[in-house]
Amino acid sequence: MMKKLKAGILGATGTVGQKFVTLLREHPWFEVSALGASEISAGQTYGQSVASKWKQSAPVPPKIAAMRVRECRPEIMDCDFVFSGLDAAVAGDIEKNFAAAGMPVISNTKNYRMEPDIPLLVPEVNPGHAALIPLQKKRGWKGFIATNPNCVAVPLVMALKPVLDEFGLSKVMVFSMQAISGAGYPGVPSLDILDNIIPHIGGEEPKVETEPLKILGSLERGKVRCADFAISAQCNRVAVSDGHSLNVSFSTRKKTSVAKIRKALENFTALPQKLHLPSAPQRPLVYLDGDFRPQPRLDRGAGGGMTVSAGRLRECPVLGFKMALLGHNTIRGAAGAAILNAELLFKLGYIKQR
Amino acid sequence: MMKKLKAGILGATGTVGQKFVTLLREHPWFEVSALGASEISAGQTYGQSVASKWKQSAPVPPKIAAMRVRECRPEIMDCDFVFSGLDAAVAGDIEKNFAAAGMPVISNTKNYRMEPDIPLLVPEVNPGHAALIPLQKKRGWKGFIATNPNCVAVPLVMALKPVLDEFGLSKVMVFSMQAISGAGYPGVPSLDILDNIIPHIGGEEPKVETEPLKILGSLERGKVRCADFAISAQCNRVAVSDGHSLNVSFSTRKKTSVAKIRKALENFTALPQKLHLPSAPQRPLVYLDGDFRPQPRLDRGAGGGMTVSAGRLRECPVLGFKMALLGHNTIRGAAGAAILNAELLFKLGYIKQR
Amino acid sequence: MMKKLKAGILGATGTVGQKFVTLLREHPWFEVSALGASEISAGQTYGQSVASKWKQSAPVPPKIAAMRVRECRPEIMDCDFVFSGLDAAVAGDIEKNFAAAGMPVISNTKNYRMEPDIPLLVPEVNPGHAALIPLQKKRGWKGFIATNPNCVAVPLVMALKPVLDEFGLSKVMVFSMQAISGAGYPGVPSLDILDNIIPHIGGEEPKVETEPLKILGSLERGKVRCADFAISAQCNRVAVSDGHSLNVSFSTRKKTSVAKIRKALENFTALPQKLHLPSAPQRPLVYLDGDFRPQPRLDRGAGGGMTVSAGRLRECPVLGFKMALLGHNTIRGAAGAAILNAELLFKLGYIKQR
Amino acid sequence: MMKKLKAGILGATGTVGQKFVTLLREHPWFEVSALGASEISAGQTYGQSVASKWKQSAPVPPKIAAMRVRECRPEIMDCDFVFSGLDAAVAGDIEKNFAAAGMPVISNTKNYRMEPDIPLLVPEVNPGHAALIPLQKKRGWKGFIATNPNCVAVPLVMALKPVLDEFGLSKVMVFSMQAISGAGYPGVPSLDILDNIIPHIGGEEPKVETEPLKILGSLERGKVRCADFAISAQCNRVAVSDGHSLNVSFSTRKKTSVAKIRKALENFTALPQKLHLPSAPQRPLVYLDGDFRPQPRLDRGAGGGMTVSAGRLRECPVLGFKMALLGHNTIRGAAGAAILNAELLFKLGYIKQR
């Protein structure tokens, strides 16, 4: 049995950090070796730090609870690479410091996602974009940063990928009904969401309209050429704990049919499945029969939260086709996405024992 | 002071019927004179009939509570006209019987909405369609049926009307997040909607894709020529008690701008406002500033539930423009819509003291 | 028509302050003349101050929206008396300053409630305690402070009062399921309450166990002798927007029956009803038939939110009797309670035109 | 490896039946061999039968989905024993038929719970009551019926057991806030529970006031002598998916302290833990620190849903002590309880390979 890689977590006490801790509990390749937080009380253990804000249904693993939380400085964190769940407000400098110091940074934060030399990775969709990593040496970094996309972008690109490959895409409209866990803690006040809908999420729509184009783009001579179609997003917050629901309409470039698109969705499989990455679900995308699926309560846990669910594919009188999608926002859309990225980058040799 | 018209209610014990009872409590023109239900326990009062299923926040008005509930037969209901909140399963025959017997039937049910000689009325949008009523004489009816549209169609056409008039429309995509009250009682099981979204509402999308085209159509030589644009609808059920939220994208025929469309929305006023119909809100449509509006809890009660709220108008990379809408589904989208129709038809002389 | 009294509002921008603004909109005796807030942006209007945090379903009244918000200092607020919805953290000094400066302070805050010379008033229960007011002169105050109780204590004492008067009380157990609006805004994070119960509300149980004993106490030679029975409270937060639900068990001193207690509850009426105070509901307490009442959605609005609803009175194998209660927490339990107090104190001559 | 016992499920398509199917998926001792339902469509597979009403987050296990659902007749169900999740309306006769025909019936239904010769079992609390089983021969039955209690009674007796044993009990008051899953499907209409509380659950309070006394009673000469204390219950339905929250006040017979009771709760362990029954959680009862625990979202999954959580133990001014409890209603309070009973009865020799 191989010696596990030592993984640090930046922003370990926040909502995404807690999910990293939870999902890495029994990881076969990685073990949590260091916990960093941007605001820390000197000398506090992780258990003390999260006492009043731990929101996972599983308790803090005792070993992690006893670990000390440190400042986010590379020289005091003993690890082979780090996951970052930092707030965007502080992530820019901290992640750069770690990358400069030689550390692979697997980030869930938005700051570097759209930089031309930083891969915005979904292992089932664009694993080849990992080839951007060596370009970051030009920044003078000994390590690197690799990012995963926004929580709506992930299920969207996973369902669009097989359609794009087979039929091309010219237009995509996406409407989201997003879970409260996406806003962190304390996040959405209950007075704003009980018996209510909020028809806006700050900064979300621009991400959903741009990130998928980079992810679905092609790598040509060291540059990502963004995919060539238009996306329009309308994002809403709803009273759901976990699981983002999407309604998607789209136009294909080639003439096709509901039956053919459905077949493409059902047959979708990809590199993480072939490599048997530990966090890769057996099926990255499932198509569910029945008009009432996918729905958060029944489907968000599919594949341990890593499978995207699709359903209700039918003709759209305006754009051609429409369907419903569902993805677990804090697993497939955040911490789980980053972990799968790390697994891919380890397998591809970008992350190693130091 | 004029003598009030006697209004009967068909389907008086159901959810829509309860709303008719509630909204007509202090109506200046109409008074409830007869209550009909398709399944009745002989001799029961209204109070007894609804004892376990009254779901309005105001109690049953004592005078109505003491009235006897009758079978839905025109010869035993003493009234000048009837409102119908019947289930579609029984509405077809009953409404026809009343119309044949000389009674104006102001119906909230879907059965006759798309018939060529039946007006599908939204008084702010197509009051002229009332001119279809005399054509129903060809059916051998001494009375008539006039209908109001589906609860999503109403806010949609009210916001689209000023846009269509000024700029034309070629494409409309509408995504709905619909309140549970739209499904009646017992309606949606709580296990299906708590911490959940249901991405389908049986029979809803076809109504939303067709009814607006009739409403926004023009009356030409005794026929409604449907409006000439495509609508695509995706309907979802969410954990909101009252108030349907819509996300709408659309393409105009003339070139225009966000500022111009917003002005058109803000200036929208119509016949019911000019006629000072009792249920007509001062403003049929309000445009709200601020990214987080409209939202059900703050805005569904606007204009006593009869005002449609709009917000977030902005450019859409795919169709041109997009915005958020909100309408109260059981008031503006059902019982209140029918009452406003009756007020219009009374003012226009189609409903009279018998 | 009398000239209206000028009412100031301290803490006008908070949740309770917003409720004061809303409930005083068309008050026949009082008009809002000054708005104070503890943290203010110099020169902002009320409309600007509450723009992002107004959570009432009715919009800000335009006249109030245009008023300037001021610091809470008596010399710059032009009014005959003030309502206080201040946070407990700042209320102590500010309220004292206003009382010292000659202003009647009608406070919803907890700070002075249990002071021996400050009346803790529920007009239906202990209007005579207003006689404590002159004793406050000994503090050197030219004005005075009068308080209303905690939002659970109000419905509790209103239901216990007729029982205590007729049968005596020896033990009371109360279990509460409290609405999120009681925690203000942003208040309870949605992640803590969606699909959840929180079995604790900071500082709540001690208030519920003590305040009722003062309110139900007798005034003897210038002192309140607390009622002589034990109360135990267990307080829970639930996913309800407005309306606190209570389960109450109690032992009477005299032997009695469910029928007799029910009659006492049903017959309860009091001074505010006799004086026709504008905010006094026709019936302070209603007893509802049917096992499933009272419930927040159907009953919180009774009497404009000022009526307490009771139901399910039955024998309790442990304490003798048990029942369910419901009160609107932000109306009868907060702002409405303070307004009713002001009405009483105006009628009794304690508040006057200055 | 032993050959697994063949377990039938009566009422397999209902909510409790679905939970049996889910929890037995990978059971080390039992395998599902037959599925019975009271209303069946001849020839339907289980997958077809539950297609529109499967409400578990895990999908139907494929092997079970392919099994045929049969009528509930002992002669056509091939099994060593049966679990029953039948509706009370039909359970009486069907369970009797199975018991008469020689089958052990492990029932979750209420019908036989209070019969003197039927054990009402909670393995951690009264495993000795299994000794009632042989008495059922007097009924002419070759098999037997063993039952588990109501979903509120289970967490209540598990927390009271160590208190009763060490300090005695004289009075218990219990207030429940119960999850919607307890009402089955479709169960509670969403209009009744969104933004609401229902202060009554039909038939629940009598069960909570009587079943614990039998469970906590002593077996004396073939008879259960009920425990000698009074229980009063007030039961409420709340908007929680799974997990019943209780507030409990109680009086002990011996003088004791919060510290001593807490120690008794923390030290509680029992026979299922000693026997290492597969469904027995490592700790049947956990005491949680912190004022805000236990709460459904964080704690209902403890011990796979089989651990009862306690917290907030403190003095009660009326009865002596009070605390908060939480139990998973469909696992520890229903299907999991029955499975643990079957494990105990297998270990004790009452259930065998036939």
Please tell me the pTM assigned to this model: 0.96
How far is D175 from C316, CA to CA, in rounded Å?
12
- C58 in reach of chain B (CB within 8 A): yes
Q: Region B112-137: what's the mean pLDDT? A: 98
Most C-contacting residue of B15, B22, B57, B192 (CB-CB within 10 A), to test interface: B57
Cβ(B65)–Cβ(B39) below 8 Å: no
Flag whether pLDDT at B208 surpasses 90. Answer: yes
Contact C301 B55 (CB under 8 A): no
Most B-contacting residue of A173, A251, A309, A329 (CB-CB within 10 A), to test interface: A173
Domain definitions of chain B by residue range: 5-149+335-347, 153-328
D271-304 pLDDT per residue, tens: 999 999 999 999 999 999 989 999 999 999 999 9
How far is B60 from C302, CA to CA, in rounded Å?
12
Which of D51, D57, D298 shows the shortest C-beta gap to A301?
A: D57
Flag whether pLDDT at B42 surpasses 70. Answer: no
Pick the CATH number of C5-150+335-347 from 3.40.50.720, 3.10.110.10, 3.40.190.10, 3.60.15.10: 3.40.50.720
How far is A280 from A341, CA to CA, in rounded Å?
10
Residues of B in contact with D187 (CB under 8 A): 189-191
Contact B199 A240 (CB under 8 A): no
Most A-contacting residue of C56, C181, C190, C193 (CB-CB within 10 A), to test interface: C190
DSSP 8-state class, residue A68: B
Flag whether pLDDT at B40 surpasses 90. Answer: no
pLDDT value for C312: 98
How far is C104 from A310, CA to CA, in rounded Å?
64
Flag whether pLDDT at C275 surpasses 70. Answer: yes
Beta bridge partners of A232: A173
Q: How far is D189 from chain B (nearest CA, A)?
A: 5
A26-65 pLDDT per residue, tens: 999 999 999 999 877 767 999 999 988 999 988 999 999 9
**In sequence order, which ranges of chain C are alpha helices (DSSP H)?**
15-23, 46-49, 62-65, 88-100, 153-167, 190-193, 204-215, 258-267, 271-274, 296-299, 336-347
- Active site annotation includes D244: yes
B65-117 pLDDT per residue, tens: 999 999 999 999 999 999 999 999 999 999 999 999 999 999 999 999 999 99
Take residue C128 and report the two structure tokens written for it.
Answer: 């005579």
Touching chains, B (3+ CB pairs < 8 A): A, C, D
B272-302 pLDDT per residue, tens: 999 999 999 999 999 999 899 999 999 999 9
**In sequence order, which ranges of C203-351 are alpha helices (DSSP H)?**
204-215, 258-267, 271-274, 296-299, 336-347
C202-221 pLDDT per residue, tens: 999 999 999 999 999 999 99
Strand locations in B101-151 (E): 104-107, 144-147
pLDDT value for C42: 66
- Active site annotation includes A244: yes
Give me the active site residues of C, please. Answer: 151, 244
Dihedral angle of Cα B32, B34, B39, B42, to the nearest 10 degrees = 130
pLDDT value for D57: 86
Coil/strand/helix, residue D306: coil
pLDDT value for D179: 98
Take residue D137 and report the two structure tokens written for it.
Answer: 């021969």
Q: Which residues of A155-171 are buried (b: 16+ CB within 10 A; e: fewer)?
A: bbbbbbbbbbebbebeb
Contact B301 C57 (CB under 8 A): yes
**What chain B residue is nearest to C292 in terms of C-alpha separation?**
B52
Pick the CATH number of B5-149+335-347 from 3.20.20.10, 3.40.50.720, 3.30.1330.100, 1.20.120.160: 3.40.50.720
pLDDT value for A1: 59
A222-270 pLDDT per residue, tens: 999 999 999 999 999 999 999 999 999 999 999 999 999 999 999 999 9
- A175 in reach of chain C (CB within 8 A): no
Number of CB atoms found within 10 A of residue A267's CB = 11
**In sequence order, which ranges of chain A are alpha helices (DSSP H)?**
15-23, 46-50, 62-65, 88-100, 153-167, 190-193, 204-215, 258-267, 271-274, 296-299, 336-347
- CATH 3.40.50.2020 is held by the domain D153-328: no
Question: Counting one residue from B and one from D, how many pairs have CB atoms under 8 Å apart?
Answer: 58
pLDDT value for B1: 59
- B39 in reach of chain D (CB within 8 A): no
Number of CB atoms found within 10 A of residue B222's CB = 11
- A291 in reach of chain D (CB within 8 A): no
Residues of B in contact with C300 (CB under 8 A): 57
Listed range (A141-150, D50-59, D286-295) with the worst mean pLDDT: D50-59
Residues of A in contact with D290 (CB under 8 A): 51-52
B140-187 pLDDT per residue, tens: 999 999 999 999 999 999 999 999 999 999 999 999 999 999 999 999
Contact A57 D301 (CB under 8 A): yes
Q: Which of D133, D338, D105, D341 is nearest to D224 (CA)?
A: D133
Q: Which of B124, B120, B344, B331 is nearest to B211 (CA)?
A: B120
Residues of C in contact with B58 (CB under 8 A): 301
Q: Can you tell me which residue has the tokens 């039927």?
A: D118
How far is D261 from D167, CA to CA, in rounded Å?
8
Contact C319 D295 (CB under 8 A): no
Q: Region A176-188: what's the mean pLDDT? A: 96
Query: Do the interacting molecules here have an ipTM over 0.90?
Result: yes
A273-297 pLDDT per residue, tens: 999 999 999 999 999 998 999 999 9
Give the rounded percent of residues in chain B with a pLDDT score beyond 70.
99
On the CB side of C104, how many CA atoms lie within 13 Å of its CA? 27
C34-68 pLDDT per residue, tens: 999 987 776 799 999 998 899 998 899 999 999 99
**In sequence order, which ranges of chain D are alpha helices (DSSP H)?**
15-23, 46-50, 62-65, 88-100, 153-167, 190-193, 204-215, 258-267, 271-274, 296-299, 336-347
Contact D241 A57 (CB under 8 A): no
Q: How far is A168 from chain D (nearest CA, A)?
A: 33
Residue B9 pLDDT class (50, 70, 90 cuts)? very high
Q: How far is D308 from chain C (nearest CA, A)?
A: 15
Residue C354 pLDDT class (50, 70, 90 cuts)? confident
Beta bridge partners of D31: D6
How far is B190 from B196, CA to CA, in rounded Å?
10
Angle at A240 between CA A236 and CA A242, to 5 degrees: 105
Pairing mode, if any, of strands B81-84 and B5-10?
parallel
Cβ(A174)–Cβ(A134) below 8 Å: no
Residues of A in contact with B297 (CB under 8 A): 195-196
Residue C1 pLDDT class (50, 70, 90 cuts)? low
- B283 in reach of chain A (CB within 8 A): no
Contact C190 A185 (CB under 8 A): no
A 73-132 residues with CB < 8 A to B? none
**What chain A residue is nearest to D193 in terms of C-alpha separation?**
A195
In whole numbers, what is the pLDDT of chain A averaged over residues?
96
pLDDT value for D38: 83
Domain A153-328 in the same topology as domain A5-150+335-347: no
Length of chain A: 354
pLDDT value for B193: 98
Residues of A in contact with D300 (CB under 8 A): 57
Give the rounded percent of residues in chain B with a pLDDT score beyond 90.
95
Give me the active site residues of B, please. Answer: 151, 244
Is residue C156 classed exposed, middle or buried when 0-12, 13-18 and 19+ CB atoms within 10 A define those classes? buried
Contact B197 A319 (CB under 8 A): no
Flag whether pLDDT at C172 surpasses 80. Answer: yes
How far is D336 from A310, CA to CA, in rounded Å?
32
Which of A199, A249, A295 shows the shortest C-beta gap to B245?
A: A199
Which of B55, B192, B194 shows the shortest C-beta gap to D239?
A: B194
- C290 in reach of chain B (CB within 8 A): yes
A99-136 pLDDT per residue, tens: 999 999 999 999 999 999 999 999 999 999 999 999 99
Most B-contacting residue of A234, A292, A298 (CB-CB within 10 A), to test interface: A234
Coil/strand/helix, residue C249: strand
C326-336 pLDDT per residue, tens: 999 999 999 99
Touching chains, D (3+ CB pairs < 8 A): A, B, C
How far is B121 from B128, CA to CA, in rounded Å?
9
pLDDT value for A39: 75
**What chain D residue is nearest to C313 in terms of C-alpha separation?**
D234
